[in-house]
Structure 1
């Protein structure tokens, strides 16, 4: 995963700029976008007009993905523009390092604006400090001049980086959430992955008879458990329920779909299906216990395989499955998933080589680069055909299968990114629920109260999806 901040890692999909399904721009209008003029003559081989000798300044967040994948894209840039020198910086603390350069009007040409303390994109957009990516998206892809760059991307990614309908951010990694388990352990016991919550509880009873804990979770960061909880809410209530929650509609958290899902998770805990001591575990401790076979399921995003690579035993064969449906009456199909882009790239409008920055992103989205990212970072990029023909690990292969099965039914919530106090109330309440300190009814009232307080607070800017 691109960083070491567990709270962001566990709830990243919910913090996405916009949802992948029914995506729309952020609230309010955006200023007129800055559009780059070509720095040099354009041609079929150089559609963005990169000047041959202009140097390129690239800043990459060097987190869990490392930065070798970015260097690979830079090598493609050098092949096409051999006279251009590339300055590469793989760093932590992107915001702290880049803010002085942005203020001074001397930013790099392209920034991977990821990690804790990243630059505030909304403020940069408002201050007209970012370049519109329309020219990149409408450029021919690096592999097929008949196909635009935008048409190579998974659905919703362009909208997810748009403000006022203008794309300013290109998310490069595609993070998927679900329930992880060992396929070899399932095969050993003859277990079948549950499609509904009733099947999950029945399987949990079987797992307990085998001497294992059905579930564990990253107890110190209960937001990890909100990923499956809120995904089940979306499946049960449909996207209209997701919109009601995000839009702070009165009583949204008291909806029948929310109550039923919270009661389901309370039952999971009440039936003893969560490994004892999970509450006290960090993300790495819980995930390591899971890799050791002490529990069968763990909720997490698609970075899990790479994060656990050093401690995963041979033959474990981890895979991810979709969160089960609450019932057959759900409004979304069982294949629906929570997913969102990450590794957000931006092009500063005052960069000295904006054409080069756009070209770097175009080459980063070449199938060759995307495939390299998938294999070196063990993660899925936003290029939709990136995994085709690759020899994949069990986890990454299952992620690709999950995305393919979901199709247009990929979703995310927006309220955590808009309303931090409400997000905290959901996190805290779920932690209390799983440990029996609040009832399902109390969970609902606590969260609804927090939502009402946000809605009534005139000092908090409100958004609508």
Structure 2
């Protein structure tokens, strides 16, 4: 499950996330007709799309398919005569690539700029997305608020959603979720272990794991030592959930902004090396679950839930994604922010904001915009919580959905408490550059680092080389 430049950072406590502007959603929605939650002129607009077809492409990740199938049925019922065609796949970028190349894209995309195929990164580089600023100036379908006033603060202005910083919005926010270190809350309570605040605390937990009374039974019934950590091996980009918050802690927000801007030398500093050395220590120090580098996301997540590893990086969607997976008896989802280097340091946590967009060459852009607005209705928010166990990036969405969310997901939002939430915001890579910075940060680095075949100095060098290429192409017509 990522590309972006100016860092938007928002301090979010649990209380703030739950309570901020909740009254806006309730009071403004309540002001509409009790019998018809969808405001006028919705009914007239619905008839304008009769006999139209909408093609949407959705990345199938941790939120599954059920929400999309039901919201499409609901949309078709609200817009008589409209037919929606859904294409949903874990490899959606590869599925729709031929359509994009042929100039016949889907009308609506639910694919983030962090998706593995890089299809969204390419669309952003090529300026292949439609300006949807006007949609956010319009009123919600079921309240008297403009859509831009309903979105969580700071999001629409960030480069995740306004990538060219020209005052225009090209991507719309979908979900909001914390990403950090997931652990078995029940295990920590039973063992009396303290959750780590610093990296020293984190690595010190290894001594507890060496004690035989803390071993876990494997599939054969044999007692085996738990590993301290695992991650989604063949998808090393998940480690961004450690990298960016740790860089913010070690180097500072200002330096992280320089990194996101590809500034020469910004990735070759002692503060950066401290972070990279810490990640390397996970592998070289024997803290990593055996076989991790060859596992996919569900395999590593299953092993962690069975107790083979104490921590894994992920977002709050993991509970829904793994709802049918076997697990250690009494397993309860918990999440903490990434540890800091010094006790008392400010803690950071990476927030996930997935995206909606409309291709510039979409055949039915107005219908796509209507669908986008429909997704921001209260009915849609509640359905998403009920069917996908997630929340939209709207003010008050978490509280509105509370009785539909599982206790585990609601608990994971507590990771925001006392932490500063950040989002990655890389500058748009110039069209002429062939670099995808994720390759040098993760794909071409993590496995060699974890297996001792690359040094952190070499890691810094390859990232700096990518920065140099990108900078060389900046401003090229």
TM-score range, shorter chain: 0.7 to 0.9
Are residues 1:246 and 2:263 paired?
A: no
> Aligned residue for 2:18?
none
* Partner Cα separation in structure 2 for residue 429 and residue 99 of structure 1: 27
User: Partner of 2:391: helix, strand, or coil?
Assistant: coil
User: Partner of 1:298: helix, strand, or coil?
Assistant: strand
* Partner Cα separation in structure 1 for residue 414 and residue 54 of structure 2: 36
* Partner Cα separation in structure 2 for residue 425 and residue 109 of structure 1: 32
> Aligned residue for 2:47?
52
| RMSD between superposed Cα atoms in Å | 3.5
Q: Is the 8 A contact 1:161 1:168 kept in 2?
A: yes
Find the partner of 1:219 among 225, 233, 257: 233
Alignment map for 1:173-252 (pairs within 5 Å): 173-209=175-211, 210-211=214-215, 212-252=226-266
Are residues 1:381 and 2:392 paired?
A: yes
- Distance change >3 Å, CA 338–CA 19, structure 1 → 2: farther
Are residues 1:337 and 2:349 paired?
A: yes
> Aligned residue for 2:219?
none
User: Partner of 1:450: helix, strand, or coil?
Assistant: helix
* Partner Cα separation in structure 1 for residue 428 and residue 408 of structure 2: 27
* Partner Cα separation in structure 1 for residue 470 and residue 359 of structure 2: 33
- Distance change >3 Å, CA 453–CA 399, structure 1 → 2: same
User: Partner of 1:251: helix, strand, or coil?
Assistant: coil
User: For structure 1, which segment, 234-243 or 207-216, has the greater mean C-alpha deviation from structure 2 after superposition?
Assistant: 207-216
Q: Is the 8 A contact 1:175 1:341 kept in 2?
A: yes
Are residues 1:306 and 2:320 paired?
A: yes
User: For structure 1, which segment, 181-190 or 303-312, has the greater mean C-alpha deviation from structure 2 after superposition?
Assistant: 303-312
Q: Deviations over 1:2-35 (max 9, x none)?
A: xxxxxxx3xxxxx234666169xxxxxxxxxxxx
- Distance change >3 Å, CA 18–CA 103, structure 1 → 2: same
- Cα shift at 1:250: 3.2
> Aligned residue for 1:38?
none
TM-score by length of 1: 0.77
State the aligned residue count: 419
In the alignment, structure 2 segments of 5+ residues that lack a partner are: 11-37, 216-225
Find the partner of 1:264 among 278, 294, 299: 278
Are residues 1:360 and 2:371 paired?
A: yes
- Cα shift at 1:396: 1.8
Q: Is the 8 A contact 1:16 1:341 kept in 2?
A: no
* Partner Cα separation in structure 1 for residue 267 and residue 8 of structure 2: 20
Find the partner of 2:67 among 69, 94, 99: 69
Alignment map for 1:277-288 (pairs within 5 Å): 277-288=291-302
> Aligned residue for 1:148?
146
Q: Is the 8 A contact 2:59 2:110 kept in 1?
A: no
- Cα shift at 1:74: 3.7
User: For structure 1, which segment, 177-186 or 219-228, has the greater mean C-alpha deviation from structure 2 after superposition?
Assistant: 219-228
Alignment map for 1:33-52 (pairs within 5 Å): 45-46=40-41, 50=45, 52=47
> Aligned residue for 1:90?
87
User: Partner of 1:253: helix, strand, or coil?
Assistant: coil
* Partner Cα separation in structure 2 for residue 413 and residue 191 of structure 1: 35
> Aligned residue for 2:413?
400
In the alignment, structure 1 segments of 5+ residues that lack a partner are: 1-8, 10-14, 24-42
Find the partner of 1:171 among 173, 176, 196: 173
User: For structure 1, which segment, 221-230 or 130-139, has the greater mean C-alpha deviation from structure 2 after superposition?
Assistant: 221-230
Are residues 1:16 and 2:3 paired?
A: yes
Q: Deviations over 1:146-202 (max 9, x none)?
A: x22122223343232223331122131335321111111111111221111122122
User: For structure 1, which segment, 83-92 or 163-172, has the greater mean C-alpha deviation from structure 2 after superposition?
Assistant: 83-92
